[in-house]
A and B are shown apart, each in its own frame.
Chain A
Amino acid sequence: MSAARLDMSVYAALIVAGLVAPVLFPNYASQIAVMWLMIMMAVTWDMTGGQMGYNSLGNVIFFGLGMYAAAIVQIGLVFDVAEYTAAFGAIVVEFTDAQYYTGLALGIVAGGVVAAIFALVVGPFMLGLRGPYFAIGTLGLAVAVAELVSGWGYVGGGGGISMPVYPGAAGEGTMVWYALLGVLALAAHLTARWLYSTQFGLAINAIRDDEDKAEAMGIHTTRYKVLTWAVAAFFMGMGGAVFGNMSGFIEPLEVAFPTTTFGIFMVAMALVGGKGTLWGPVLGAILFHVVKEWTWTYLLGWQWVALGAIIIVNIVYFQQGILGWAQDRWPEAFGLTVDRGTGGTQVEAAE
């Protein structure tokens, strides 16, 4: 089977699973919706982390900014935001269906756009840092942004915002968030797959392998780096917008900028699955999420230990991840060609 056909089969299987799962397991629809979100996070993290060699620990910034941008747009369309947040949920705004859906659509778009613009603005500075400095720098930026939002009265500061309530029947909302997150995950992966098939993909791979060489060859490295981060930010922002609505209540530290949960999870998921591979982050996200939910249910109190153990084993003994390992083991299956030592390589190089 060719790589393209294999990809199509996996997409088809995921779409079918995505459609069937909430019907078969309606009680788990929210958890599976979060799994789609995790897939989107791992895939977009891998755009810079795996494909470009820039390990960000701060991609939750985009998630939180998207969430807040959506909240401001959704509430601001019909009510004064400062007055609404100042009341800490005491004011209940009645949205008509039309107002709600318009606000939601605009909010999701705004979430993506605001996050992407933020990436375009800070990208040239942050992406000037390399290796561990970039990782620490982005982590610091995430913490700083979360603190700034906590202190910003207009959006309710640390007190948070109650999101507009979904107008439909109880349980229907879950399906809407489920569908939106599923589509977002699919769109993020399709975008990544397309990007990696272009000159753009080669350029960011070149930056990963040797950025100084890429510069010496005249590649516009800053342009590529910032744009890649902005693409990731766009999806993360939309994901944040949807997740904020799904949560119903947003606040800076736990929901919008969760550096110690989602911020670490997305890195761990990409690493478990195999960073720098097309499907590794997807596989990693699914496995990680299943283990996480399972330990939360059956090993309560030990769940963090279990996740920590996975991360440690992964980083110490198994850095290439599942698909990275499989790619080393069966390169041909990944479309790679390996020299099987036909002999006389030096002579061949001579002529």
Chain B
Amino acid sequence: MSAHGSRIQIEVKGVSKSYGGVVANKDISLQVPEGRITGLIGPNGSGKTTLFNSIVGYHPIDEGSITFENREISRMRVPDIARLGMLRTFQQTRIYKKMNCMQNMVISVSHRGGGFGGIFRPARDPETEERAEQLLEFVGLYTKRRLISGDLSFGQQKLLEFAMALMNRPKVLLLDEPTAGINPTLINGLIDRLKRANQELGVTLFVIEHNMRVIMNLAEQISCLAHGQLLATGTPEEIQNDQRVIDAYLGAH
């Protein structure tokens, strides 16, 4: 049980990861409670994205354990973890650039379960398309739905990637800098959408964010990394007032 009284969905225990001689993550332990928004901050190069990659199975970890709903996932591969209901978005936005937005959405449906014959379903089925259109409406891309996604602006591609993730009906969404590169006037709209996805669709969010205003506004619990180590975990107020965190950001380390 976490401080908030909800179930722990992702538990990271003593995770270390090195690239050659560079220690990217060292003995990191943190928890992501179900149905909440958890933040992950830290200066550039502090190991946030490495930790994300470890959680979603991008690379094997050197030490420690990662569980998702009490199931050890540290040795599982990316698509298998994704099919458990844990998805991530990328810092460098990744969408299927030669396909139009609707096709991007339709192929992003959940691939959990589903027999082999399902793959020969027609690409256009009304139920799926309706949900895709609703989600595109939700992120404000409905009028762009027939455009080739690679022609969208960077910010729009980011919104599309978010909508694609929701199309998959994930239990947990790991977002790597969702507001990076987005026009400041759009950020408030995005924060609102992230909160609604969390509250209305019940998706647990685990967010890496550099924009302090965004993460303090969004997350209920924040962990801060510096030099690959966990510095502190706490509520936004606690983190804002933590001297170690302030030092890390001002370069005292």
Contact = CB atoms under 8 A, between A and B. Distances in A.
Interface of A: 197-203, 205-206, 208-210, 212-221, 223-224, 276, 336-339, 345-346, 348-351
Interface string B90-107: 100011111110010011
25 contacts: A199-B106, A200-B119, A202-B106, A205-B98, A206-B107, A208-B98, A209-B96, A213-B94, A216-B82, A216-B87, A216-B90, A216-B94, A218-B110, A218-B111, A221-B79, A336-B148, A337-B147, A339-B147, A346-B155, A346-B186, A348-B140, A349-B144, A350-B140, A350-B186, A351-B189
Nearest to A195: B120
Contacts of A209: 95-99
Contact of B122 (A198, A205, A212, A337): A198
Interface of B: 56, 78-79, 82-83, 87-88, 90, 94-100, 103, 106-108, 110-112, 118-123, 140-141, 143-144, 146-148, 151, 153, 155-156, 159, 164-165, 168, 183, 185-186, 189
B168 A218 contact: yes
Contacts of B118: 199
B56 A216 contact: yes
Interface centre among A200, A336, A337 (most CB of B within 10 A): A337
A219 B176 CA distance: 20
Contacts of A350: 140, 183, 185-186, 189
A278 to B, nearest CB: 14
A324 to B, nearest CB: 11
A345 B156 contact: yes
Which 9 A-B pairs give the minimum distances between C-beta atoms? A218-B82, A337-B146, A209-B96, A202-B107, A213-B94, A218-B111, A218-B83, A215-B79, A349-B156
A202 B87 contact: no
B140 A349 contact: yes
Contacts of A224: 119
A214 B87 CA distance: 11
Contacts of A198: 119-123
Contacts of A337: 100, 146-148
Contacts of A213: 90, 94-96
Given A203-B107, A219-B79, A210 B95 contact: yes
Contacts of B99: 202, 205-206, 209
A8 to B, nearest CB: 18
A190 B122 CA distance: 15
Nearest to B155: A349
A202 B123 contact: yes
B88 A216 contact: yes
Contacts of B186: 346, 349-350
Contacts of A346: 153, 155, 183, 186
A197 B122 contact: yes
Contacts of A345: 153, 156
Contacts of B159: 349
A206 B189 CA distance: 29
Given A198-B120, A206-B96, A337-B147, A217 B87 contact: yes
B153 A217 contact: no
Contact of A338 (B98, B119, B151): B151
B106 to A, nearest CB: 6
A203 B87 contact: no
A223 to B, nearest CB: 8
Nearest to B183: A346
A276 B95 CA distance: 18
Nearest to A222: B79
A217 B108 contact: yes
A345 B146 CA distance: 14
Contacts of A351: 140, 189
A214 B79 CA distance: 8
A200 B98 CA distance: 16
A200 B185 CA distance: 39
A339 B108 CA distance: 23
A209 B149 CA distance: 11
Contacts of A219: 79, 107, 111
A220 B83 CA distance: 9
Contacts of B94: 210, 212-213, 216
